[in-house]
Amino acid sequence: DAGVIQSPRHEVTEMGQEVTLRCKPISGHDYLFWYRQTMMRGLELLIYFNNNVPIDDSGMPEDRFSAKMPNASFSTLKIQPSEPRDSAVYFCASSWGFGGSPLHFGNGTRLTVT
Amino acid sequence: AQTVTQSQPEMSVQEAETVTLSCTYDTSESDYYLFWYKQPPSRQMILVIRQEAYKQQNATENRFSVNFQKAAKSFSLKISDSQLGDAAMYFCAYRHPQGGSEKLVFGKGTKLTVNP
């Protein structure tokens, strides 16, 4: 079991640039979550998908953020244009079923926007 | 909306001793799940233990156990025989199994230091 795979591990970009974060969930998992972690706000849910369909995107900060899940094995989180306040660690997680199934997290992407 | 509160931003414990991390949550639901996750400096989120709200028996995983008090909405984590490798951020989390609301809600975390 390869676990949840995120890329890149680190991303440094300049303000105004487009950033794309990638995630490959665990095979067979039907839920995929994107979280953002900062010192000030902790772990915040941005969006989650069930069977590739977005269910709740109320945590997406603004229109600069978008997420897609074109198939069961791939998801992207895009920020365009990026701003310094977007600097954070972004986690992707997946689970099978809901409720009691634990989320399995990737190693996260540390994004720095200068 | 469900909320999770961890009132101890930092805790410390001597190696081989026992420490308890506190967590309370707010929900109007009767069926839900609670989790503790560990985040070491490597930033990997690691599941420590899970509790089903409908089970009265407290979950245990080796040196880790919980004290689940449903009426008080309390879910504390006890670490016995603490080891240096237990040093990490610990996050309490809540999940409700209802369609459209399956997200995991996290507390702010407790930073645990283990002193040799």
Contact A102 B103 (CB under 8 A): no
Q: Which residue has the tokens 């706000």?
A: A41
pLDDT digits (tens, 9 = 90+) for B56-111: 899 999 999 999 999 999 999 999 999 999 999 999 999 887 666 677 899 999 99
pLDDT digits (tens, 9 = 90+) for B17-58: 999 999 999 988 888 999 999 999 999 999 999 999 998 899
Contact A100 B100 (CB under 8 A): no
Amino acid at A87: S
Best mutation site among A56, A98, A107 for testing chain B: the one with the most B CBs within 10 Å? A98
Q: What mean pLDDT comes out for the span A80-104?
A: 92
Higher per-residue pLDDT: A50 or A98: A50
- Residues of B with CB below 8 A from A1's CB? none
Q: Which residue has the tokens 């972690």?
A: A37
